[in-house]
Amino acid sequence: MLFESLPLQGAWLVRPQKAVDERGFFARIICVKEFAAHGLQGSFVQSSISHNSRRGTVRGMHFQWPPSAEAKLVRCTRGGIRDMLIDLRPGSPTFLQHVAVTLDDASDAAVYIPAGFGHGFQTITDNALVQYHMTDDFRPDLASGFRWNDPAFGITLPLPVAVISPRDAAYPPFEQESYVARFNGTAAQAAPA
């Protein structure tokens, strides 16, 4: 596998090294030793997929509050998406910065999203299929998010929004002080739940 660091501390683009022959190709997409060599957690406890029928569909920006330590490895196995990450770790040198990468079935690349990041994507094709591997269990009591278009983040999408869930569209505005207090455990429910 080839690991390319992204501009956000701890985020990586992971590309398979393909062994190609007349049958097609073979490639490893997860290797605990290779992930560990780059300081990444490679033991995943859950895997999920999402099918997205329409081009322009937006999912996110999602995260889990501490004490969750959910890192993700995300790959688009059919079609294409514009994947978005926000560093939501107070104290990180890239706190509140974001980066976007294109993931599609032609490149087979994945993005490694560290714990403490917000994550979302917009489909750039119809019938996009997205695969997620997570390092922590989904915890509904810790699940939260922010709107993709919150001015605090400055994210732009490649397409108009065609579909977004009512939950994702209704997340409250990001308020840095209350967010940091809850992230650090100094406020019981100061930020959106």
From 62, 98, 119, 133, active-site residue: 62
Task: Enter the tokens of residue 21.
Answer: 């022959």
From 51, 132, 133, 171, active-site residue: 132
Smallest CA-to-CA distance from 132 within 108, 112, 118, 147 is with 112
Smallest CA-to-CA distance from 122 within 152, 97, 156 is with 156
132 catalytically annotated: yes
Sequence letter at residue 174 = F
Question: Are the CB atoms for 126 and 70 separated by under 8 Å?
Answer: no
Sequence letter at residue 99 = V
Question: Are the CB atoms for 155 and 99 separated by under 8 Å?
Answer: no
Smallest CA-to-CA distance from 98 within 82, 79, 74, 81 is with 82
CA distances from 43 to 70, 84, 132 (A): 11, 23, 13
Instruction: Tell me the catalytic residues.
Output: 62, 132
